[in-house]
Amino acid sequence: MRTQRGFTIVEVLIALAIVAIAVLGAAATTALQSSGGSAGAISFGQAAVTRGYYQSTATMLAQDRLEQVKRVQYRVGIGDPFAPGSPPPDFPDEAPVTGFPNFSRQVRVAAGPAANISQVTVTVAFTLPTAQGANQESINLKTLVAARP
């Protein structure tokens, strides 16, 4: 005589997991369709990646210029290449930055917290393409430059 066999608990749990994944996938697709569809979700992801690229490129350009500014010799009594209110003569405004057509860069100097110290701000602005047009955004990096004796 043959014994009757049913499903084991492991088989039932695996089947439930597969069904749960299928139901969650269908629910996610329905939610995406009500908010612009899966194409909307893909374009949102691409927009985030594009914005990240532009922000990291702007930060790199600002850091690069800030390092160039920090290498300038600033000595007490020899002249002030970092006179507050004007860009340093070696760093004119760039619009666009060479090799980066959607980016512009400028260096500005303000008086620092003490004598012989200047605050240097590097601003990199960029035009971020979006589905609705374009947005202007910018990154600012600041540092203090002190005169050496």
Strand-pair category, 133-146 with 117-130 = antiparallel
- The neighbour count for residue 44, using CB atoms within 10 Å, is 14
Whether the model pTM is above 0.85 = no
Instruction: Please report, for the chain, how many H helices and E strands are present, in that order.
Output: 2, 3
What tokens does 84 get? Answer: 């507050």
Q: pLDDT tens digits, residue range 101-110? A: 889 999 988 8
Q: For residue 123, list its beta bridge partners.
A: 106, 140
Mean pLDDT for the chain overall: 79
Low-confidence ranges of the chain (pLDDT < 70): 1-2, 29-44, 75-89, 149
Please, is 118 exposed, middle or buried when counting C-beta atoms within 10 Å of its C-beta (0-12, 13-18, 19+)?
buried
So what's the pLDDT on residue 31?
60
Cα angle 87-75-81, degrees, rounded to a multiple of 5: 15
- Residue 105's SS3 state is strand
So what's the pLDDT on residue 82?
62
